[in-house]
Amino acid sequence: LAMEQDLIRALKAGEFEPYFQPIVNLADGTLYGFETLTRWNHPDRGMVSPGEFIPVAEETGLIVELGIRILEEACHVMEGWRQKYPAARDLNIAVNISARQFSEAALATSVGRILDSTGLPASCLKLEITETVVMLDAVKSVNQLNMLKKLGIMLSIDDFGTGYSSMSYLQKFPTDQLKIDLSFVQRMETAPENIEIVRAIVNMAHSLRLRVVAEGIETERQRDLLYSLQCDYGQGYLYSKPLPKAEAEEFVKNSE
């Protein structure tokens, strides 16, 4: 695979760069944290989207090393902001964990080591795992999630509503948050049955004591609807696109 060789080269050359997309409290728009979204700054191709390289990194197993590097960098950046800005002390940083990473027995050990080496408090880190991945082998997932939860980090189920969920497992998973898939958010205005789907997800989540993040918010109307449905947090172009570190830092600074 040509891209595999290129990924190996890029890892050595340090061409992967974390971008950070703000996540806000829906009630007042104040900053709650960021989601880390990786970009590949390719010398010939420019910025390559993760939609292109994450699947190849998954297939080849390179995602394990890449994932560790991203996690390390994201924790390091957030701890730097926490040291520099008093207002950043309550923020958290979310990092996506792929299927392959989630299936690694050593995942919790690696995460613990990264928290130690960067000094980031565990409570400031959130891992996002998609609904499809956690439900693939729900019995095994309970164990893996429990090991991660023991570190004191937050866990979030990403792209919620697009996979098949078992309600009994949702209750057994030691998760903190659900992230409503952007497809529901974006269809609320044109196909109102999506409002009812979002309402059902939020109510179910709250009754399981989970917080809810809505992603892909692009309009004021979507924001207002989500707030009226008691969704807790929001993320999307209405607030900001994913930003390089320096621009995300401005967001942190301005939140003071």
Tell me whether residue 85 or residue 219 sits nearer to ligand G (CB atom).
Answer: 219
Does position 221 interact with ligand G (CB under 6 A)? The reply is: no
Does position 45 interact with ligand G (CB under 6 A)? The reply is: no
Does position 218 interact with ligand G (CB under 6 A)? The reply is: yes
Does position 70 interact with ligand G (CB under 6 A)? The reply is: yes
For residues 90 to 129, the per-residue mask of contacts with ligand G, x marking binding by CB under 6 A and - elsewhere, is: ------x-x-------------------------------
Tell me how far apart the alpha carbons of residues 82 and 166 are, in angstroms, rounded to a whole number.
37
Residue matched to tokens 């179910």: 204
Closest CA to 93 of 121, 116, 134: 121
Smallest distance, Mn ion to C-beta of residue 86, A: 28
Tell me how far apart the alpha carbons of residues 29 and 220 are, in angstroms, rounded to a whole number.
12
Interface with ligand G (CB under 6 A), residue from 158, 197, 226, 234? 158
Does position 46 interact with ligand G (CB under 6 A)? The reply is: no
Cβ atoms of 57 and 10 within 8 Å: the answer is: no
Q: Which of residues 150-179 bind Na ion (CB under 5 A)?
A: 158-159
Residues that bind Mn ion (CB under 5 A): 96, 128, 158
Interface with ligand G (CB under 6 A), residue from 6, 79, 159, 249? 159
**Binding site partner of 50, from Na ion, Mn ion, ligand G, none, Cβ cut-off 5-8 A by kind:** ligand G
**Binding site partner of 54, from Mn ion, ligand G, Na ion, none, Cβ cut-off 5-8 A by kind:** ligand G
Q: How many residues does the chain have?
A: 256
**Binding site partner of 236, from Na ion, ligand G, Mn ion, none, Cβ cut-off 5-8 A by kind:** ligand G
What is the secondary structure of the chain as a DSSP string? -HHHHHHHHHHHHT-EEEEEEEEEETTT--EEEEEEEEEEEETTTEEEPHHHHHHHHHHHSTHHHHHHHHHHHHHHHHHHHHHH-GGGGG-EEEEE--HHHHT-TTHHHHHHHHHHHH---GGGEEEEEEHHHHHHTHHHHHHHHHHHHTTT-EEEEEEETSS---HHHHHHS---EEEE-HHHHHHTTT-THHHHHHHHHHHHHHHTT-EEEE----SHHHHHHHHHTT--EE-STTT---B-HHHHHHHHHHT-
Tell me whether residue 6 or residue 158 sits nearer to Na ion (CB atom).
Answer: 158
For residues 224 to 253, the per-residue mask of contacts with ligand G, x marking binding by CB under 6 A and - elsewhere, is: ------------xx----x-----------
**Binding site partner of 51, from ligand G, Na ion, Mn ion, none, Cβ cut-off 5-8 A by kind:** ligand G
Chain residues in the site for Na ion (CB under 5 A): 158-159
Contacting positions for ligand G (CB under 6 A): 21, 36-38, 49-51, 54, 70, 96, 98, 158-159, 182, 215-218, 236-237, 242
